[in-house]
Structure 1
Amino acid sequence: MAHPVPTDLESAGSAPASDRTRHEDDLFTWVQEQVSLLRSGRVEALDLDNIAEELSDVGNAQYSQLESALRVLLMQMLKWDQQPEKRTPSWIYSIREQRRRYAKSLRKNPGLKQHRDVMRDEIYPVSRDWAADECNLSPDEFPPECPYSWDDILDRPFDLDSVKQ
């Protein structure tokens, strides 16, 4: 969602380069100035190196967001499978929420789908360690490699009927 540029920054794009904010001094103001320059067509005045770095950071943040949802989802699934006697509705809610976050992130960033197998394989050990910590078990009690297919991860049912009350 785009935010309007505050009125005191609207003329920032017309300021001489020496008067403009440096990226490292004030990121927010620098961004507003760069947006103003871009919208006014003053491409030659843009801070291209720092813009490229910021765009790369945006992409990395989207990757991290997807990875985070998957990491928590895998941890919850491992806990569910390892300790059926301790299942609670909150585990189900957590699985549902992480699935929602994962799906939303992929909807907004479909280019990330091609990275999901590598992502799953890279983060599974972390999910395994988290599950082991939460279950007070050794990581060796869990499979050494991710036991879940994408169908399991995204569609396997988890319901209240399987929770012992």
Structure 2
Amino acid sequence: MTDLTTLYQTDYAAWAQRNAELLRERRFDELDIEHLLEELSDMSKSDRRELHSRLLVLLAHLLKWEFQYRSLSERWREFKGDSWRSTIVEQREQLADLLRQSPGLKSAVDGAIADAYPVAVRLAHKETRLPKTIFPEICPYSRDQVFDDDFYPESE
């Protein structure tokens, strides 16, 4: 077991700092390649999970906005969808920030929307108790609409 492997198991911050120093000094043969690859892979997975999770919440709220907003606002005059709007705004901001910090994720957005949408439908169905069949099978929102701060779907 190398010193870096031991350091990885006992002091992650020191391990990361030491590997950074070795990279700067171009001492590649001394790097803890196995753990560096593992960490880089995990970082990518974590970012992709966050992208999926935030899109799921955003899409579910866009669906609720489109398919339930009118019935609730007719029932309760004071209902304006403020909490839904807040969630939509927050998820869009968080997604924009994630894509600024990890620009490589931009190429994964379309696939992530397609993957998150069926789960968003299930979530919207459970939260609204509207029939699943009311929601489109394929995401009705374009990538631009999903990220557009001014886009709120028309209520049915």
Common fold by TM > 0.5: yes
User: How many matched pairs?
Assistant: 144
Q: Which amino acid aligns with 2:151?
A: P
Q: Which one is further off, 132-141 or 52-61? A: 132-141
Between the aligned residues of both structures, percent identity stands at: 37
| Residue correspondence of structure 1 range 12-161 to structure 2 within 5 A | 17-18=2-3, 21=6, 23-24=8-9, 27-84=12-69, 85-86=71-72, 88-155=81-148, 156-158=150-152
Distance 1:149 1:26 in 2: 45
Unmatched runs of 5 consecutive residues or more in structure 1: 1-15
**Rounded Cα–Cα distance in structure 1 between residues aligned with 2:23 and 2:85:** 46
Q: Is the contact made by 1:22 and 1:30 (CA closer than 8 Å) also made in structure 2?
A: yes
CA contact (8 A) 2:125 2:131 kept: yes
Distance in 2 (CA, whole Å) between partners of 1:19 and 1:97 is: 40
Q: 1:71 touches 1:126 (CA, 8 Å); kept in 2?
A: yes
Q: Using the alignment, how far apart are the partners of 1:136 and 1:111 within structure 2? A: 37
More helix by share: 2
Are the counterparts in 2 of residues 21 and 29 from structure 1 also a CA contact under 8 Å?
Answer: no
> Are the aligned partners of 1:17 and 1:45 in contact in 2 as well (CA < 8 Å)?
no
Deviation string, structure 1 residues 84-142 (Cα, Å, up to 9, x no partner): 13352010011011111111122222222222111111110011111111112332231
**Matched letter for residue 157 of structure 1:** F
Q: CA deviation at 1:56?
A: 1.5
Higher relative contact order (CA 8 A, sep 6+): 2
**Which residues of structure 2 form unaligned runs of 5+?**
73-79
